[in-house]
A and B are shown apart, each in its own frame.
Chain A
């Protein structure tokens, strides 16, 4: 199995740019997907693959990857972006799924 590591908490001033990172060995072989979760709600996919946004996700959300690290960037963070963000990928075997521990984003 493998693990994905995220910073537990990150803050950003309204309108500024924030990067949320996810580290893990499996990210050398597999893309991460990113999910936004607000209190009491199910996760919502915001980024998948190299840098793909599902329909309805604002273009201020973008993704990137280098080596064993995947990143989710929010350019011009809005108050409604305050949420928990989780990364996910397959594990190194390619058979199992693994989630990062989540990052709580606070928009100041």
Chain B
């Protein structure tokens, strides 16, 4: 069974930094692309970033490009999101999600999320 456990969320001031982690188990982590998806309070889901299994391909949403950095450590079965220059609008629950990509589609398995609050 896929298990994804996020950590590292909390309260941070605007302009500050935070590093999220996601511990994966129950599947062959090194074979899967991984993603971060966020959800602002009372709002919908927003894809943030993805990283391929070997870190060769990395993509970001325009809203976080240049401020957030996704990375992974396959030896530790872990995914990370370094978030810099945080803004109030980055306040959200951040979900770690493993991605299954096939031909003409994809889908995610999700962690339970970690809350990031950006406020002075």
| A interface with B by C-beta (< 8 Å) | 1, 29-33, 35, 37, 42-45, 48-49, 84, 86, 88-90, 95-102
Contacts and interface: CB of A to CB of B under 8 A. Distances in A.
A101 B110 contact: no
Contacts of A32: 105
B110 A42 contact: yes
Interface of B: 35, 37, 44-47, 50, 57, 59, 61-62, 95, 99, 102, 104-113
Interface centre among B35, B45, B61, B112 (most CB of A within 10 A): B45
Contacts of A35: 45, 108
B110 A43 contact: yes
Given A1-B62, A95-B59, A97-B50, A86 B45 contact: yes
B47 A99 contact: yes
Contact of A42 (B95, B104, B105, B106): B95
Nearest to B100: A48
